[in-house]
Each structure stands twice: as structure tokens, then as C-alpha cells.
Amino acid sequence: MKFAIPAEELARQAPVSVLFLRFIGACEILGAFGLIFPSALRIRAGLTPLAAAGLVIVMVGATTLTALQGEVGAALVPLVVGLLAAFVAFALP
């Protein structure tokens, strides 16, 4: 969504710059590729936990930022995603 939403709307939704949000969106997309492709293609499957650990860092920031904006219910989504990524990063290798 960070690439689909126009910059003006994105700027109204978060207290950080649009450029930073686009960077985070790119990190999320690359992290998703890192979760799927190494194991699916059987190429360096050890990269999957590293991608998951990177997504944990991104989700901690997303949960914190969303909760600080007063949207505690909306903060549950990145929290759950972060917990799932933490499971992949630390329990599966």
C-alpha cells in the first residue's frame, strides 16, 4: 500500500516523511521475497531467517508508531506479523 497510495494521502496518514515510508515499503517487499524465494527455489534457504529478522525490526517500528498515534487496535496487525516473523527467524533455523 505504501506504493499504491498517492504521496499526499500517505503524508496525512503518518508523522514521517513519504520518502521514508516508501523505503519501508521497499524493505517489506524485499523481506517478503526473502521469506519465500530461498526456500521455494532451494537456493540458500538460510537467508529466510535473516529476512524474517529484518521484518521483525520493521514490524517493531510499525507497531510502535501505530500505537503512539493512538490506534492501539490497528497496532495489533503489525504486532501479529512481527510475532510470526520472529517465529520464522528464531524457531525454524
Concatenating the DSSP letter of every residue in 1-20 gives -TTTS-HHHHHHH-SS-HHH
Contacts of 45 (CB under 8 A, 6+ apart): 38, 39
Q: pLDDT over 90 for what percent of the chain?
A: 54
Question: Domain residue spans in the chain?
Answer: 7-91
Contacts of 34 (CB under 8 A, 6+ apart): 47, 48, 50, 51, 52, 54
Average pLDDT over residues 51-56: 94
pTM of the model: 0.84
How many Å apart are CA 65 and CA 74, to the nearest integer?
11
